Copies of this chain bind each other. A is one copy, B any other.
């Protein structure tokens, strides 16, 4: 990591060294509040996804505002948040070895821990690890409700796995993971609505089939920032796992929206500096693909429609300028990352801005927690 911090508390924007990951704290606060409002009075829990921020300071704020706990994607990521005092963590992923199951089980001495399964072998690893550690684990059967990635098919396969979990003390069958990831970035509102209607139907059918076998199915969990109001209104889901709503990236803002959709603001930016300008109509900034992940496309330059970020190399970004654009060496710009999650994962600190000054510097403690 860098031997020094990009900023100090009280710095002006001009004094922040770049590239740096900055958070507009007012926009962030409004995003937190909007999510709570969107779920209030619905009997739907928020379990915020911490894979987006990897930052205990943010998780604490989400829990303080009413989130039941968090999701993580990796066991080592979960360990960071458990160590930071988060009391209820669901690892929304499968575990593929007994060694990793033991890592997970050890965390259950300090927090309520949940995990997904889509295979009988995973259940056996978890059962052995939990028994040896003398803990209980919440186990959710992942159902593929359209993502086409992990998860068993809705219906019989899910029922069989749920019954295996239910028999496998000290595991506790907690419910179904029904995340429709493929729907999150469908551009048209009607596509997203239809995808979640289908996912909800499969989730409902699977839940009812499990209950018909005499096994309780407490929780139907899933949803993301692009669709969660449909899950909220489905009558089936009772927990929401949105994560990106706190930041919002370019890819999410490329979704078209319809009346009734829940909208959030861009709050996360990469601050960058113009470092070279030797050609007409072009400029080079100091934030490349090691500063803003390009897996979902290029970042956009915030509030500068005269500038287009057209190409990223490792440590350089190429801007195209309109003929009218005014830009000079040393100028500071903000980029909206194409994809917030992997961009956050490139930084060790998140610099909070309020009224034009650095108001907080939060460690991104689970950055690089891949295991």
In the bound complex, what is the Cα–Cα distance between A369 and B93 (angstroms)? Answer: 30
Which A residues contact B (CB, under 8 angstroms)? 1-4, 6, 15, 17-20, 51, 73-74, 76, 79-80, 83, 93-97, 99-100, 103, 118-119, 121-122, 144, 148-153, 157, 181, 273-279, 284, 286, 289-291, 293-295, 312-316, 318, 329-330, 341-342, 345-348, 366-371
CB distance from A283 to the nearest CB of B (A): 10
CB atoms of B3 and A76 under 8 A apart: yes
Known: A315-B73, A342-B289. A347 touches B330 (CB 8 A): no
Verify A76–B149 contact, CB threshold 8 A: no
Q: A17-B100, A278-B150 given as contacts; is B315 within 8 A of A51 (CB)?
A: yes
In chain B, what residue has the closest Cβ to A349?
Answer: B368
Task: Pull 18 A–B residue pairs with CB atoms less than 8 Å apart, ordered by A.
Answer: A2-B368, A2-B369, A3-B369, A4-B103, A17-B97, A74-B315, A93-B286, A94-B275, A96-B276, A96-B330, A122-B329, A149-B276, A150-B316, A153-B278, A291-B370, A294-B295, A314-B341, A347-B368
Other-chain contact of A275, B93, B277, B284, B368 (Cβ < 8 Å)? B93
Note all chain B residues with C-beta closer than 8 A to A76: 2-4
* A149 CA to B288 CA, complexed, in Å: 12
- Measured in the bound complex, the distance between the Cα atoms of B149 and A3 in whole Å is 28
A345 touches B342 (CB 8 A): no
Are A95 and B275 in contact, with the CB atoms below 8 A? yes
Residues of B close to A315: CB separation below 8 A: 51, 73-74, 93
Interface residue from B1, B118, B318 paired with A278 (Cβ < 8 Å): B118
A276 contacts B150, CB within 8 Å?
Answer: yes
Contact A278 B119 (CB under 8 A): yes
CB distance from A304 to the nearest CB of B (A): 17
Alpha-carbon distance A37/B347, docked complex (angstroms) = 38
Check A96 against B273 for contact (C-beta < 8 Å): yes
